[in-house]
Structures are given as C-alpha cells and as structure tokens.
Structure 1
C-alpha cells in the first residue's frame, strides 16, 4: 500500500482504457477497509456507552453535576459514534466526496483554488472506494522536509494554512457541508499550488440558520460587541434563553463572557498564553464576577450543542496548524477576511443588520476604523483567492508563495468587486449606507454653511441657530 490508517489501506492502481470514464488509462487511488473493523468498533462503542450511561443514573443530590456531565458526554458520544460508523461505510464516503466536489466547484472563489478528487462510483462499494489519483506534497511532508526548513518554507506553510482556513470558512458558512477531519495527512499541495482535500468519511452539515447565526456571532465578536454575542450564543444553543432574558444575570455573564472570548479568540498565541491571560483576569474584578458566574452555571449550564462538536474539532486542528507557523496566530483575526467579504456581499436581512451593527456599533455614528477593517479584510480575501485562481487557470503554478500584487495601473480584484457593489443597478444595502452617510454629510455641511452666513449678517443674535 502507498498509505495506511487505522481502518484501511490505500493502493495505487491503473484503470484500463475501456474501463475508464475518460476513455484513456487512468491512475486511481483504491482505499480498502480492513477485515472485521466494523464489528470491533461497534463493540468498543457499545462498551463505552454503557459506562457513560451508568453515570447518567447515579443517585443522590451530591451527584447532580456528575449526572449532568455524563448526560452531556452521552450526547457527544452518540453523535461521534454515528459519524464514526458512517466513516466505515465507503458508499457513504463516496456520496460525500461527490457532493463535496460539486459544492466546492460551485463557489467561484474556490473553484480553481481547491481540488476535490473525483470519486468513481462504479468502482466503489461498502468496503472499497476508488478516486482519481492526485499528485502533490502532503502537508505532513511539507512540515518535515529539510528543504522547507527556511524562511521561504515558513512563508509557504503560512500560505497553505491561510488557504486552508479560507476553504474551511467557505465550507462552514457558505456551502454548509464541512470536512471534519482536517489532519495534515488529508491535504496535498499540488504542483500548480492548488489545495487538494482528501478523505470524506467524516463530514458534518451546518443548517442555513446556523450559518447566519455564526456569521453574526463572529461579526459581533470582532467588533467587541459582547452583549450581542450572548444573544447569538442563545440562538446557537450554547446558552439558556431564560438566562439571557434576565437583566441581572446578563450583568454577571456579559463581562466575563467578553473577557473570556477576547482571550480565547481575539488574542494570538497558544494555550499557555491564553491560560496566562485568563489567570490574570481571575485576579481582577472579572475574577470576582466569575465566582458569581460559577454559581449561576449550576442553574444554567453553558452546553456544547452536539452539532458543534465536529466543527470545534475541525477549527481546533486548523488553529494548531496556524500556531505551528506563527506563535501569535489568532484564529478570529485570520477568519475575519472571509467574514468581511460575507458582510459586504450578502444582501440578506440578517447580514444587513450584522453589517450595520459592525460599522455603527449600535449607535448612529459611523466608525471609520471599522469600515477600514472591513475593506481591508474584503481586499485580503478577494485578492488572495483571485491570485490563486489565476495561477491555476494559466497553469503557471509551482509550490511557492503566491503574490496578490496587481500590476501598476490596473485595479485589483477587490477594488473591482467593491465598485460593482457600489454601482450595481439592482441596488443593495451597501449603496443604501453610502447614500445615508452622504445625505448626513451634506446636511452637516449645509448647516455649517448656513451658520456661517447667519453669523455674518449684521445684528444676528449669537446662538440663534
């Protein structure tokens, strides 16, 4: 075999011309499942579930917390077990791969950036899956190869992580079909620079309403509007609605949530640095409020919805990859370019509200710094994806860092798209905001001019306007 894992092995083979969908000899990857793996895994899962189920029913008031934790773990285990058993069904994986390829190709900014190898359904079964063979360098090899152990190699790895994160943001918040097993061995960097994503046994689906709620949450978190993030967490199923409706309880939860979220996501660095920040907070007034929150959590526990487990696993792995290239890697900061693009290009009512909240901060004064952040993030994502697309289309790629610089005298892709948004004949919310600010500016200038004229008139009483 050319590769092996816990449940299967991969072989390289060649289809005869008369058996190939292309009519020519075709190199393929054939993954075969190990014998009796289903029975072994099922027995292990049943045993673990029996133990957890026992703790769910331990009697006594003093064991209430133990029962709550066990019930939460049981929900997680049931989800993980279902997905793991699905991973053993190669027909399901083949269907996942075909759907994943179709949906990623349907997103213009991803079409020429991400490669999903085609599945050959006619040569796949419950225990065997056949896909087109793809050449490239595995991310694991990129990390361990001495020839990439220099500044250029570090920049290349950082570029790959950025590309990965952008691809996952599109899956998470746009297509809603997320590859939930992002360990380095599942990624290839092709000679033309495209990112190849493999292994579709573990996928998860994010519903449209959840996708919108996550965009709102990240927009509010990035803008520092932590009170709104509490409402977002209620919508997403993390926090009890009853807790969020009580003003006194919000006063307890709000400050702690703000500081904790900032430390975990807005700050860069690994676990040790985040723990250090949280320890410092524990010594402050936030720490005193945190004691109240601990008491409150006994009545209203913050839960992790089962659907979020695989999402958390995926982005936790991506953050680990990011930290391997940059010790100050901040996941929220790296995700923001996609959020900025989504806020400006999605004209749905909820995205309109999130955009307004982000740039006005809940008031009526435009925050120029936030507008700059938004346009900079939009430009970063759009230009980076366009640079990747051009390289793939022209076939002039190589395993090197892409430059998103635009030749002198030409508009870059982000500027073109922003201009299209501003002058779109069908109209959109960005145009409405520009008009609103223009009217406000004209009104202010007109008033200032009128005041100056009035003050120059003989006998005009001061402060009459």
Structure 2
C-alpha cells in the first residue's frame, strides 16, 4: 500500500474517533453518576474531555478538519456560556496552530519552487516554523538584501486532504453538532467545500495580498506585507511583527479591545472601497496588533473580488430597515434575489429576523458582547422560533455568500472582543448607500 492511501485511512480513522470518543466518555460519565458523582461535575468533565479530543484530532489533521475547527473557534461566542467555556481555550488554539512539517519536506518544497540552491537567497532561514495553520505553515527568514520575510508553504497533498476531510466531516455532521450544541455545522462544511480551489491557489492569494498592500501602503491604521515572490504553493512576503488579536480577546484591556474592534471593522469595510477586495476569512488568527498600534493583516487566501466595491443595495436596505419600512426592505431583498419572486414573506417577521444585522448601526456607539451574540443565535437557531423557519425560506445569492460570511463572522469576533465603539460612523463613511438621501 502506498503512503497516500495509508495517510487517507489514518485521517479517516482519526476523524471517526470523534463520535466514538464522545460515546465512550458518555458511558464513563454514566458510570460516575451511578457511583454518586454530581451530575454537574460529570457533565463538566465530559465537556472538557470532548474539547481536548476535538482539538487533538482536528489540530493534528490540518487540512479541512483544521479549517473547520478554525471556523468553529470563530463562532464560539454564539454558544451558551456553559457549553462554550470548556471549548473556548481549545478552539482558540485552532486559530493559528498546527503540528509542523518535517525539515526535509520543507527543503523538498522550496527546492522545487525556488530552485535547488534556494538557501543561497537567504542570510538566515528558520527551519522551525513560526506559525502553522490549516493548509500551510510559515517560516521566518532574512534575505541577502536584509529584508525580513515570511515564507509560506502549502502542505503536500493539501488538496486531497481538504476534500477527504470535508467528505468525512460531512458524514459526521450530526454527531459533531452534538459535541458543540447550538451550531449547525452542515452549512459550514458546505461552504468550505465550495471554496477549496480558492484556498489552495497561492498565486491567486499573492495577487490579492499585493493588491491590498498597494492600496494600504503607508496607511496610518493598517499594515499589509508586500509580496516578494510567489508560486502555486509558496508565498514569500515581508515579515510583520505584532501581537495576535486573539491574545487581546483573553488578555486585553477594555480600551485596547475597543480600539482594536474599531480598526478591525474599518479594515473590513475599507478593503472593497480602496482595494476592490473583501478579506473573507475574518477569524482573529489573521490579524496582528503592531507595536505602533496599527492592525497588521495576513492570509489573503479567501477574498471576494469586488472591483466596484460593496453593492450599494446593502447600505440602502440597512438604512431603510432602520426607518422600520418592512415593505420596502422586503421589495429590496426580492430585487437582490434574497426572496424568490413568488414567495410571500411577512414584512414584520422579516424586520424581526433582520434586527441583529441592523442593531449595531442604530446607535452612535454600540456594545458587542457574547451575551448579545448568543441572544441573536437563539432568535434564529431555535427551531420553534418563527425566525428559524423564515431563515430556511430565504435565498442567498452567490454574489453575497462571502459578504454574509464576513458580516456574521465579524460580529462574532467583535462579540469575543466585547468591543464598544462608534461603528455607525464607519458605515456612514465606507458603506455605499448607507448615508445617501
């Protein structure tokens, strides 16, 4: 048997261990309860061990499993606190960590992509990766001209691993959902499957990164590293030194978190206007706070191409919704393809469903929180709620898929930060159609 089938079987076995492990822990928990242990203690131990296994398996596999875990870590702010707490630390690790490739594998990739004498281009090259994530890892080096660079390499067989993992995760979607209650994992897996090609194309990613770097050169708020060299599986770009945004979620002051949250939102809305791109992977692992306070941004593997900026309909409909005109909002959503022509939607119910999207724009300053995010998830996630049935009837036009992802994911990050800031002013400045009369 070749190495590839062996690895595929190993990955499948590890993914399969998630539901089996959960069942085993449930049995142990039942035994403890019979033995007299308090139910709360048994459940807490069950959640902790499930979180440990989830990280161990998803983190070790990288690929689609790792990417899926990163998306889960982004949305933990929407989970009930008693369920989120045991998962928070382990899922946060998935935002920017994974086991590294062997040094010999790194040498093979760089010899193929940069030439056999690739080390002659560097004064220094760190064989131990500085960062590792879902489909690649990053090494730090210094070129002969003195520039500090990040060398990002794609894992061998990343495409096969992504597809195999996502197929397997799809089979276990219901079981994995039971491990993390309150989240519907099927849409997450479906979106990852649709975006595989974009995630794997490092030439495409390098083009997007350079486009951002050109747009924000010498910007007072943002730093995007310029691309030095790239190939289908390697990107060499300027190194940026900064503290991970995720560390401020757990250890930042209120002043720091508020300032970071505002810069984070400004970056997301500035991209379409000034670079013609929307950075569409909003999890905290892609952001660094620089020593001078600017927000550094990395990983441009998933970007929506918006050469004309964000659709003006978004700002226009948001403005109309704030005025409470449900009929106009319904007609506008029909025109954009969110509501199919012959489908009847109650305007009042529609306004209630859309309230979370509009609420942060209603006040001059808005306070995000985990409690607020959980409340919004409950409004639409409870199958007994009219909002849940309405969500199933709405249509998502393909051109809005990544915009919707960023909007929801961005609110999740702001809720993790517990950020309070004048977000309405950002919309007035950068969202087309929002301030128009």
Query: Shorter-chain TM-score category?
Result: 0.5 to 0.7
Alignment of structure 1 residues 284-299 onto 2, 5 Å? none
Query: 1:236 aligns to what?
Result: 336
**Separation in structure 2 between the aligned mates of residue 45 and residue 226 of structure 1, nearest angstrom:** 39
Match of 1:262 among 339, 355, 374: 355
CA drift of 1:130 comes to: 0.6
2:215/2:274 contact within 8 Å kept: no
CA distances 1:76-100 after superposition (whole Å, capped 9, x unpaired): 93x6435222222222211111112
Match of 2:399 among 307, 311, 319: 307
Secondary structure at 1:35 match in 2: coil
Match of 2:148 among 24, 27, 35: 27
Match of 2:428 among 340, 355, 371: 340
Alignment of structure 1 residues 80-95 onto 2, 5 Å? 80-95=192-207
**Separation in structure 2 between the aligned mates of residue 157 and residue 209 of structure 1, nearest angstrom:** 28
CA drift of 1:117 comes to: 0.5
Change (3 A) 1:337 1:82: same
**Separation in structure 1 between the aligned mates of residue 412 and residue 326 of structure 2, nearest angstrom:** 25
Matched, 1:274 2:411: no
Change (3 A) 1:50 1:210: farther
Secondary structure at 1:182 match in 2: coil
**Separation in structure 1 between the aligned mates of residue 342 and residue 300 of structure 2, nearest angstrom:** 39
**Separation in structure 1 between the aligned mates of residue 172 and residue 293 of structure 2, nearest angstrom:** 48
**Separation in structure 2 between the aligned mates of residue 140 and residue 163 of structure 1, nearest angstrom:** 14
**Separation in structure 2 between the aligned mates of residue 304 and residue 326 of structure 1, nearest angstrom:** 29
Matched, 1:355 2:355: no
Alignment of structure 1 residues 311-390 onto 2, 5 Å? 311-326=403-418, 335-341=423-429, 351=433, 355-356=436-437
1:218/1:339 contact within 8 Å kept: no
CA distances 1:256-278 after superposition (whole Å, capped 9, x unpaired): 11222225541765244336777
Matched, 1:224 2:345: no
CA drift of 1:126 comes to: 1.6
CA drift of 1:8 comes to: 1.5
1:173/1:212 contact within 8 Å kept: no
Change (3 A) 1:80 1:112: same
CA distances 1:218-264 after superposition (whole Å, capped 9, x unpaired): 21123333322112212322112344xxxxx4xx5111112222255
Q: TM-score, normalised by structure 2?
A: 0.57
CA distances 1:363-384 after superposition (whole Å, capped 9, x unpaired): xxxxxxxxxxxxxxxxxxxxxx
Query: 1:112 aligns to what?
Result: 220
Change (3 A) 1:227 1:176: farther
**Separation in structure 2 between the aligned mates of residue 278 and residue 35 of structure 1, nearest angstrom:** 40
Alignment of structure 1 residues 31-180 onto 2, 5 Å? 31-44=152-165, 77=190, 80-105=192-217, 111-121=219-229, 124-145=230-251, 148=252, 153-172=253-272, 175-180=275-280
**Separation in structure 1 between the aligned mates of residue 377 and residue 160 of structure 2, nearest angstrom:** 41
**Separation in structure 2 between the aligned mates of residue 119 and residue 308 of structure 1, nearest angstrom:** 28
Question: How many residues align structurally?
Answer: 288
CA drift of 1:43 comes to: 3.9
CA drift of 1:46 comes to: 6.4
Secondary structure at 2:241 match in 1: coil
Which runs of 5 or more structure 1 residues have no equivalent in the other structure? 18-24, 53-71, 244-248, 357-465
CA drift of 1:14 comes to: 0.5
**Separation in structure 2 between the aligned mates of residue 173 and residue 6 of structure 1, nearest angstrom:** 29
Change (3 A) 1:234 1:39: same
Q: TM-score, normalised by structure 1?
A: 0.53
CA drift of 1:167 comes to: 1.4
Secondary structure at 1:355 match in 2: coil
**Separation in structure 1 between the aligned mates of residue 405 and residue 391 of structure 2, nearest angstrom:** 24
**Separation in structure 2 between the aligned mates of residue 216 and residue 138 of structure 1, nearest angstrom:** 35
Query: 2:34 aligns to what?
Result: none
2:150/2:236 contact within 8 Å kept: yes
Secondary structure at 2:304 match in 1: strand
CA drift of 1:341 comes to: 2.8
Query: 1:59 aligns to what?
Result: none
CA distances 1:24-75 after superposition (whole Å, capped 9, x unpaired): x1110111122222222234456789999xxxxxxxxxxxxxxxxxxx969x
